Amino acid sequence: MEHAKPLGIHQSADGSRLDASDSQIPVKLFGMLAEFASPGEIYEAAKKIRDAGYKHWDVHSPFPIHGMDRAMGIGQSKVGLIAWVGGLLGAGGGFTLQYWVSVHANPFIIAGKPFNSYPAFVPVTFEPGILLTAFGAVFGMFFLNRLPTLYHALFKSKNFHRFSNDAFFVSIEARDPKFDLQATEKLLTEIGGKNIEVVED
Amino acid sequence: MILRDNTLPRATLVESKSFGEVNEIICAPTNPVRTPKTWHILFLGSLSLLCLLGVMLAYLVWEGTGIWGVNMPVAWGFAIVNFVWWIGIGHAGTLISAILFLFRQKWRTGINRFAEAMTIFAVMCAFIFPSFHVGRIWVAYWMFPLPNSMGMWPNFRSPLLWDVFAVSTYFTVSLLFWYVGLVPDLATLRDKATSKMKKVLYGVFALGWRGANRHWQNYERTYLILAAVSTPLVLSVHSIVSFDFAVSNLPGWHTTIFPPYFVAGAVFSGFALVSTLMIIARKVYGLEKVVTMHHLDNMNKFMLATGTIVAYAYAMEFFIAWYSGNPYERFAFINRALGPYGWAYWIMVSCNCIVPQLFWWKKIRYNLLITFIITILINIGMWFERFVIVMTLHADFLPSSWGYYRPTWVDWLTFLGTFGLFGTFFLLFLRFLPTLAIAEVKGVMPEASPHHGHHHQEALTSGGQH
Amino acid sequence: MSPLNLDPKKAAPTQWRSLDELAMSPEFQAGLEREFPEGASEATELDRRQFLQVMGASFALAGLTGCDVVRRPKHEILPYNNAPEHLIPGKPQFYATTVTVGEEVMGVLVESHQGRPTKIEGNPQHPSSQGATGKLQQASILDLYSPNRSQKVLKNGASSTWDAFWGGMAPVIDGFRANGGEGLRILSGYIVSPSFAAIKQHILREFPKAKWVVYEPVNRDNARIGLLGAVGKPVDAHYRIESAKRILSVDSDFLESELNHVAHARAFAKTRNPDLGKAGMSRLYLMEARYSVTGGVADHRIRVKPSMIPAALALVARELANQGLTFQSGETQLIDSALSASNGTIAEFSPQLISELAADLAAHRGASLILVGKHQPPLVHALGHAVNRLLGNVGTTVLYKISPTFAFNQDSPASAVAIRDLAADMEKGVVDTLLMIDANPVFTAPADIQFTSHLSKVRHSVHLGGEVNESAQAALWHIPQSHYLEHWDDAISFDGTTSIAQPLISPLYTTFSKSEVLAKLFDYRYRESLDIVKGHWMSRSGALGFEIAWRRWLHDGIIETGALPDSGPGSSSGMDAFLKAHSSSDEGSREGGIELMLFEHPNVHDGRFASNSWLQELPEPITKLCWDNAAYIGPSLAQKLGIKDQIILKNDKGVPMGQYDKPMIKVTRGGHSLSLPAWILPGMADETVVIHLGYGRKKGPGIAEGAGFDAYPLLDKRVGQPLSVQVEVTGSTYTLACTQDHWSMESRPIVREGDLELYERRPNFSADEFMNPHPPLASLWEEHDYSKGMQWGMTIDLNSCNGCSVCVVACQAENNIPVVGKGQVIRGREMHWIRLDRYFTGDVDDPGLVFQAMLCQHCENAPCEAVCPVSATVHSKEGLNEMVYNRCIGTRYCSNNCPYKVRRFNFSNLTNHYSESEKMQKNPDVTVRFRGVMEKCTYCVQRIEQARIGFKNKGNEVIPDGAIVPACAQACPTDAIVFGNINDPKSRVAVLKAHPRNYGVLTELNTKPRTTYLAKVRNPNPAILKLSRSAT
Amino acid sequence: MVFPRWTNKVPFWLLVTLAVLACSIVFIFWYWGSPKHLEVGYQPQQPINFSHKLHAGQMGMDCRYCHHTVDKGKFAGVPATETCLNCHTQIKQDAPDIVKLREFHAAGKPVPWVRIHKLPDYVYFDHSAHVNKGVSCISCHGRVDQMDVVRQVEPLSMAWCMDCHQAPAANIRDKDLITKLSWTPEGDALENGRKFMDMYHVKPRTDCTTCHR
């Protein structure tokens, strides 16, 4: 089993911190990365990590894997809620604008129609509704995913870039209370992780 | 679902067996070494047409709409014909990505990216016409509700204003939809990139995507919502475009059948153009393994269906015109078929109603050449459909006001120019972006299922869970 | 409105002090010099601001161009130095003056804005106007500002000066003093001006050997000669059309082109009210070969080959004789010679028709009227008057009064003769000096006398005219004449009404009136036009109290000279001599074959208005052609010639349109031939070609040049006399501009027409018999309440309207409507706010004709409004469909959605290249539209607002009925257009809207138009209808 | 590693800058772009230094002495040069400006006054319609009687016109007081306005054609 990091790190009791007296350059860990061969394997692995009680960890795959949310035990997405609010704002705002303009700001007699000719206001109520729903969904997703994040520790890994091709990874973060260099590494090896490496932050 | 994936013959979705190969195939075009000569030639052509468009529009703004063929009574000429035609073409993309997505039509992954891109560029072309056909473009911004020192606001009862909102919304949402779909694939390109430049550019637009499942979760939900809102949107847009005519009071325009019939026509022409371009791209870039004959077959079936709907609409228009007993309506339709623009009417009928019926034969659906020709005929026919509708203007209620419309050379060159705009953007897309949705294609491969190879019982349960 | 001008010498000039400065200011002169004749569609650059600064404060707000809200660069306000009296900046003033076209004298009021005359209105006190005008008078104001005006003296075509001219002519005149005027010829149009006649007398007294030639290419000489024969005195016939129950018009287009047609149209319209009932409503029979607007309103239009027209009348006369009228010997001879004069077999007339016609006339003795067209030979006129006398119409519907202008012109023979004599003298070389006074003989003289070539034999030829026309270019000297709004004049109308013509503006260029020129040349005792006129009248009415009288004349525009005495029926004693002179065959035409008739054009007349762009673009009433003339032929002749014109042949099937390329035909007469496009006109007599004169100006000024085809070379007899010609199709084509492609109503209830019988049976037939079946017009919402306040509406009586099109010109003048030129008309982009629709009804070979003025209907549920994205067209609380130019962005959606297609779009920039002078005509109360905006009829909202403000300032909130008259209604001779407040039950318009004949066009669309129409009701002879039914 | 750590901050700051930029652009148009800024305060130098403050203010001449068509026609009327000379043939003949004035008059040249209150050509404003309904000069021209050099004090924008046409009470007063620029109503101005509105039948119209024809 080969190690990505110099032995010095192993001598420290707690991987997250090194006491100042230590002569080595202080390094902060991001966490540990392990590669899996197929969706099937990583699916099983995820269940095990979930059962091991880890909280701050994630699965990296070139495409969404069916059932993975459940396998990882993460709850519902909040994107829908944000989109819904956006939609209400859009439609409400659209109609209010039209009503105000046609009844109060410019009460013109047009084609003998009433000032509040609401049937004609449907399209411009509908379209802003759609628009803001879409905005809510997309920008909400960006917000929830903290994107864009151009810099990320994982990009330091020399294997990781293959996640967008045909490789599957599990990353467990050092800030997870249950994180421990040996224990975590052991767990990953047991569930069949390859090229296990420690990733600096 | 997953069950069905396993039972489907492999050839129907992706012929390739490994994720890596899919990557290779789809990313290949972005590799400069592999860029074919034809690309350079086409790009040069499109670019010059684009310049032509610029010149024509400048001339128009300088001289006024008088340089076009429009007149009284035909106050809308080529501009609106082209607008409706382009916007119609733009409908295929969203339809494929949204509606087929909702119906879990996995074969869509072979073409959706392609079609979405097409949508965006088509809508750009479409947008030019309504905005430039006005007499005083320098005050066209009065159509937007902006506070001003005149205390004047737009008139929300006008279908043209609905157009402004519908089309701009449609463009924005399509763009978002397209981009969101692109993010994971941009990440792929980022990670494949060798040159620093590409790493940075792709990197920036990939937003630092790292395929994390916690991201995928929100991502998929977003994609689902976008699909859910785009579906009514895409239907609304062409309905609203049809209101430009349907809400008027002119014989031949004032018909309730327009919205569904316009939407069907839009899908019809959209699919036709997608096939046209796909058949070429597929050949040039050797995408046969991911865009299989099965895809094209499905497209052709769609064209057959929508074409038949359109044919039905034409017939029904005529029937209702007769059935209404309204002499103006009756005349308008007889005049369409037998009047001075009869020739256009018959081009329309033969291209839109008769030709697509060939697709009843499997042989023809699977024959690339014939399919290619038919798709082009369909788009010609659909252009003439809009021409026929707009030309209904030339003879309405009072015979004394009847007139005749002749396009000028400017009309023609402007229309030609929009192909330059479309082509330029489309070729750039082919050259620098993944023409197919990499992640999605991988996602529908049997190998992508975590239960690939396991026996069905578990497949069913986990499938049910999803 | 029209203020008294106190001191006449000052009154006129002070009004336009600022324009005096203007006219003299170098930049303005430069601006005018720069102008050179060019097409209406071409552009000449200009700098608006500079112009405004010159023009002064009043124009700065005159709305000359579009929007510039941002202030820089700085504008200046240039006040008067000494303010003119009565002048309130921004308030128009009206002055009475007189327009003379040929023999036609019409009193008018001219609207003036700070010294700029901008619009001609009729003078209600003048009998031949009665408040209305003809289109020529309406359009004549444009000539004042036309860039095609002649601006400087020319010698041999090269620019010269007045001094050079006076200097050059002085010795010549001295020479004539020596020889008593030997070899001096003065050629002028028909003289109607007493003061000018005085100058003429002076000249002929001083130079006894000089000869004065009166030449009008289009004239009434035949009528005069005929009258002289029939009545024996130099009289004019005064027709009391209002009291005629049965009218037989023999080729007399008395509503459009005959003398006094405006008054006739008004009188005739009064007799067409179907509520007068069978007893009261008039019936018009008309025999003609062409299709005239009078033919359009006739109850029975009988197509007759030109050469058969005399025979047609003769047959009626003979039938009357059979029915017991006793003709005197001379008159029976008239009948015989009329019959013999016409070659055709008289069999082609249905005897029953003739007898029924005659019976109808005979049944209305003293209340019938025979009208003979001015182009008919004298003996037909004589016959017509004979029949009138026998029918006892003389004294009731016809009065004979000594012609007040006879004396002015009597020393010159009939024009046709006079011009030939002159040409002969010129050929002999006995003419040393020829002064062509406001005439264009080089263009209008019959081709066979070769006037032009003989002109070169004249040593001193001088042309005085308003534009550099053919004669001006052929003459040694051309001297520019001032416009009638630039100098003083007077005129006496045929009925004896004398009026003063006062100027409204001092000459824009250094020009003189014809009186002034002759006065100076021949040393008359007055020189200034004012002195000439004033002097003349002072010598008439004496100095005592003259100034007061003069002021009243100026104010009223007329000098009330007592009505002419009725000279009674006269005697036909001179008949034998007359017969000898005129029954000979040279008058009739035994020519046969295909016959050509040449008429003056209804718009450009004999060519004198050819450079007036309004009249050029005004569609010819019947064919709706503009910018060209054509050879009109009937469908039968077309088929004979093998011309396939889908427009007419496929008329009721399909919609063949946009085919403006017409086949050229070659019309050959003697040595001369003319190739021009053939226009198939339904209802023309068989084997007849009609061509309008006045087009095809070779070296004509400005837009006149190149428009149409010159038919004068074919003219070797009188105008209007049938000439036999050969016609062949050349095979080439020519593009004509026509504003109405489609001829048929497609059996749609647009113009609703019935006969008197139907009307009396079902007064509101127009509503119940014609309406398209449609579901009840329910509204989805509570409709807007228009029951309060003033609500504007209009009715147009299709029974009165005869399609004369003066409303179109009046609208153009009032509302600054641009001219677009032939090319744009072909593209369908004419800008007229009033489209005078013309439909043919019934059989293509012998159709009926109806007109309908189609303008913005101001629908209460206006389809145009809903579709405008920027609210540029909305409804006012008073029911006006408002068009806000400065809000319009030009989507043209409103026009698409207008069922009446009455909106007009500025496709190109039509207004930014007006010349400095053209701008001066523009009405400052109406925005001059810019490129890219929609426009349409506004009900002359500027007049509504001015009236409103005027009354409100006086403290009364309601505007009385009739206080607001739109330009079209004001100009309409037949009073067909009525405008007013429909909420006031007593207003004329409200009464008419309650009338059973009232109906709206396309009301089944629930547009609720505010403009409605009164159905057309004809009064055909039931007996004759029975005939035609049994025939078919 | 292509992107250093700090790049993660970029999006946030980008967002902030864009927001600020957008707001400032809107503000720029809103403020400097509006007639309130473009039009109000325009105070060009006139060819002759005529002081309204002196004539209308201190000497208390009625506006209508010079602008005598204000209640009769569209235009208030810029006085003819002779109007000035009515007095100035006696008074202050040799003041430099008067000399200039006489020169203009002698030369038959109009005095090139610089227009201050300019409406677009497609707006048809009628002074008489307003003055006769009790709208004072002050409503549009401000305290001209306190201006040495006249300047524009109101935006004269359409919205500004509409404000008054919709609620005129504040600008209606006794007809006899329209040229009394110093007058202020005792008691409730609106109350006073309404009184005269009834008296003069003031029903301002808001149809487009009221001003655009």
pLDDT for residue B213: 94
Closest of C118, C212, C141, C152 to residue C32, by C-alpha: C152
D198 to each of B133, D191, D201, how far by Cα in Å?
A: 49, 11, 5
pLDDT digits (tens, 9 = 90+) for C685-718: 988 999 999 998 877 677 878 889 999 988 877 7
Residues C601, C605, C606, C611, CA torsion sign:
negative
Nearest CA in chain A to C862: A111
How, if at all, do strands C116-122 and C283-288 pair? unpaired
Closest of C226, C568, C233 to residue C370, by C-alpha: C226
Q: Does D184 touch chain A (CB under 8 A)?
A: no
Q: Which residues of B421-455 are buried (b: 16+ CB within 10 A; e: fewer)?
A: bbbbbbbebbbebbbbbbbbbbbbbbbbbbbbeee
Of the pLDDT bands very low, low, confident and very high (cuts 50, 70, 90), residue C893 is very high
Interface of A with D in 153-172 (CB under 8 A): 155-156
Between CA C899 and CA B207 the distance in angstroms is: 56
In the Cβ-directed half-sphere of C861, how many Cα atoms lie within 13 Å?
18
Between CA D22 and CA D28 the distance in angstroms is: 10
Between CA C344 and CA C306 the distance in angstroms is: 10
Contact between chains at D3 and B149 (C-beta distance less than 8 A):
no
Distance of alpha carbon B121 from its chain centroid, rounded? 9
Between CA B314 and CA B320 the distance in angstroms is: 10
Q: Mean pLDDT across the stretch B209-238?
A: 94
Task: Provide long-range contacts, Cβ within 8 A and 24+ apart, for C777-782.
Answer: C777/C1003, C777/C1004, C777/C1006, C779/A112, C779/C1006, C781/A113, C781/A114, C781/A117, C782/A114
Q: Which of B67, B131, B136 to mutate to test the interface with C (most CBs of C within 10 A)?
A: B136
Q: Which of C860, C875, C897 to mutate to test the interface with A (most CBs of A within 10 A)?
A: C875
Residue D20 to chain A, least CA–CA distance (Å)? 19
Q: Does D99 touch chain B (CB under 8 A)?
A: no
Between CA A159 and CA A166 the distance in angstroms is: 11
Residue C940 to chain A, least CA–CA distance (Å)? 20
pLDDT at C100 exceeding the cut of 70: yes
Q: Does B340 touch chain C (CB under 8 A)?
A: yes
Name the DSSP letter for residue C284.
E
Give, for C725, the enclosing helix (H) or strand (E).
strand C723-735
List chain A residues with CB under 8 Å of B214.
Answer: 58, 72, 74, 145
Give alpha helix (H) positions in C522-588: 529-541, 546-556, 575-582
- Length of chain C as a residue count: 1032
List chain C residues with CB under 8 Å of D208.
Answer: 874, 876, 882, 884, 887
Token pair 């004419």: residue: C830
Q: Mean pLDDT across the stretch A145-171?
A: 92
Contact between chains at B150 and D157 (C-beta distance less than 8 A):
yes
Residue C85 to chain B, least CA–CA distance (Å)? 39
Closest of C394, C328, C397, C324 to residue C362, by C-alpha: C324
The answer to whether C147 touches C918, Cβ cutoff 8 Å, is yes
pTM: 0.90
Rounded to 5 degrees, what are φ and ψ at B122?
-65, -45
The answer to whether C284 touches C249, Cβ cutoff 8 Å, is yes
pLDDT for residue B454: 60
Closest of C976, C975, C965, C1012 to residue C993, by C-alpha: C1012
Structure tokens at C767: 């509503």
More confident residue, B45 or D185: B45
The answer to whether B178 touches B223, Cβ cutoff 8 Å, is no
3-state percent breakdown (helix, strand, coil) of chain C, nearest 5: 35, 20, 45
Contact between chains at D122 and C63 (C-beta distance less than 8 A):
yes
Residue B412 to chain A, least CA–CA distance (Å)? 33
pLDDT for residue C23: 40
Q: Mean pLDDT across the stretch D129-135?
A: 93
Between CA C904 and CA C77 the distance in angstroms is: 34
Nearest CA in chain A to B207: A148
Task: Select the residue of C782, C866, C876 nearest A111 (Cβ to Cβ).
Answer: C866
| Helices C351-362 + C309-322 axis angle, to 10 | 60
Between CA B214 and CA B63 the distance in angstroms is: 57
Under 8 Å CB-to-CB from C9, ≥6 apart: which residues? C530
List chain D residues with CB under 8 Å of B152.
Answer: 158
Q: Which of B142, B149, B196, B199 to mutate to test the interface with D (most CBs of D within 10 A)?
A: B149
pLDDT at C796 exceeding the cut of 90: yes
Q: Does B149 touch chain D (CB under 8 A)?
A: yes
Q: Mean pLDDT across the stretch C164-185?
A: 93
* R_g over Cα of chain C: 28
Nearest CA in chain B to A145: B215
Task: Select the residue of C784, C863, C864 nearest A109 (Cβ to Cβ).
Answer: C784
pLDDT for residue C44: 31
pLDDT digits (tens, 9 = 90+) for B102-116: 888 888 887 888 889
List chain A residues with CB under 8 Å of B447.
Answer: 38-39
The answer to whether D35 touches B149, Cβ cutoff 8 Å, is yes
Q: Which of B142, B146, B158 to mutate to test the interface with C (most CBs of C within 10 A)?
A: B158
> Using CB atoms, which chains have 3+ pairs under 8 A with A?
B, C, D
Contact between chains at D2 and B150 (C-beta distance less than 8 A):
no
Which residues on neighbouring strands pair with residue C117, listed in sequence order?
C112
More confident residue, C115 or B384: B384
pLDDT digits (tens, 9 = 90+) for B67-96: 999 998 999 999 999 999 999 999 888 887
Interface of A with B in 61-90 (CB under 8 A): 61-72, 74, 77-80, 83, 87
More confident residue, B178 or B36: B178
Between CA B206 and CA B62 the distance in angstroms is: 42
Name the DSSP letter for residue C103.
T
B107 to each of B100, B223, B321, B442, how far by Cα in Å?
A: 9, 17, 41, 12
Task: Select the residue of D1, D6, D8 nearest A149 (Cβ to Cβ).
Answer: D8
Of the pLDDT bands very low, low, confident and very high (cuts 50, 70, 90), residue C575 is confident
The answer to whether C772 touches C290, Cβ cutoff 8 Å, is no
Is residue C171 packed enough to be buried (19+ CB in 10 Å), middle (13-18) or exposed (0-12)? Answer: exposed
pLDDT digits (tens, 9 = 90+) for A53-75: 999 999 999 999 999 999 999 98
Rounded to 5 degrees, what are φ and ψ at C674?
-140, 130
pLDDT for residue C590: 53
The answer to whether C583 touches C341, Cβ cutoff 8 Å, is yes
Between CA B458 and CA A71 the distance in angstroms is: 14
Contact between chains at A80 and B451 (C-beta distance less than 8 A):
no
Q: Mean pLDDT across the stretch A108-116?
A: 93
**Could you give the percent of chain C with pLDDT greater than 70?**
89
Contact between chains at C875 and A110 (C-beta distance less than 8 A):
yes
Contact between chains at D2 and B152 (C-beta distance less than 8 A):
no
Q: Which range is least confidently modeled, B371-385, C274-288, C641-655? A: C641-655
Contact between chains at B225 and A80 (C-beta distance less than 8 A):
yes
Token pair 């699919």: residue: B271
Residue C624 to chain B, least CA–CA distance (Å)? 11
pLDDT for residue C8: 35
Contact between chains at B402 and C657 (C-beta distance less than 8 A):
yes
Residue A114 to chain C, least CA–CA distance (Å)? 7
DSSP-derived secondary structure for B313-350 = HHHHHHHHHHHH--HHHHHHHHHHHHSTTHHHHHHHHI
**Could you give the percent of chain B with pLDDT greater than 70?**
94
Nearest CA in chain D to A142: D11
Under 8 Å CB-to-CB from A49, ≥6 apart: which residues? A57, A72, A170, A172, A187, A191
Average pLDDT taken over every residue of chain C: 86
Contact between chains at A156 and D1 (C-beta distance less than 8 A):
yes
Contact between chains at A112 and C861 (C-beta distance less than 8 A):
yes
Task: Select the residue of D2, D3, D157 nearest B149 (Cβ to Cβ).
Answer: D157
pLDDT for residue A20: 41
pLDDT at C260 exceeding the cut of 50: yes
